[in-house]
Amino acid sequence: MERGASQRTYELALTPGGRQIRLDGKAVRSASRYFGGFQVVLFAPEDLTVARGAPADRRAFLDRAVFQRAPDYLGEAQDFDKVLRSRNAVLRAAQARGGGTRDTAGLLAVYDQRLAELGARRVLRRARLLAELTPRLRAAFAAITRADLAADARYASSWLGKDAPLDDEPALVERLTAALASSRPADLARAVTTVGPHRDDVELTLDDRAAGAFASQGQLRALVLAWKIAELELLTEAHGEAPILLLDDVSSELDPQRNEYLFDFLCAKRPQCFVTTTHRRHVLASDERVDFEVRSGLVTRQNAG
Model pLDDT for residues 176-210, shown as the tens digit of each residue: 999 999 999 999 999 999 999 999 999 999 999 99
Residue 163 has pLDDT above 60, yes or no: yes
Average of per-residue pLDDT across 104-115: 93
Does 34 reside within a domain?
no
Q: Check pLDDT > 80 for residue 19.
A: no
How far is it, in rounded angstroms, from Cα 177 to Cα 172?
Answer: 8
For residues 69 and 238, what is the distance between their CA atoms, to the nearest angstrom? 8
10 Å Cβ neighbour count for 37?
14
pLDDT tens profile 38-82: 788 888 888 888 999 999 999 999 999 999 898 889 899 999 999
**Is 209 among the domain residues?**
yes
Asked, for residue 135, whether it belongs to a domain, the answer is yes
- Looking at the fold, whether 19 and 159 belong to one and the same domain comes out as no
Q: Is residue 166 part of a domain?
A: yes
Q: Are residues 25 and 83 in the same domain?
A: no
Task: Specify the higher pLDDT residue, 128 or 145.
Answer: 128
**Whole-structure pTM value:** 0.85
Mean pLDDT highest for which of 3-7, 18-22, 82-86?
82-86
Q: What are the residue ranges of helices labelled H in the chain?
A: 31-35, 55-69, 73-97, 102-145, 169-190, 211-214, 217-239, 256-269
Q: Which residue has better confidence, 252 or 37?
A: 252
Distance CA 14, CA 18 (A): 6
> Average per-residue pLDDT in the chain?
88
Range of the domain at 14: 1-29
Residue 305 pLDDT level (bands cut at 50, 70, 90): very low
Residue 65 sits at the vertex; the CA angle it makes with 239 and 62, to the nearest 5 degrees, is: 155
Query: Does residue 72 sit within a domain?
Result: yes
Asked whether the beta carbons of 32 and 71 are under 8 A apart, the reply is: yes
Is the same domain home to 55 and 178? yes
Q: What's the number of domains the chain is made of?
A: 2
Q: Which pLDDT belongs to residue 188?
A: 94
Answer yes or no: are the C-beta atoms of 154 and 186 closer than 8 Å: no
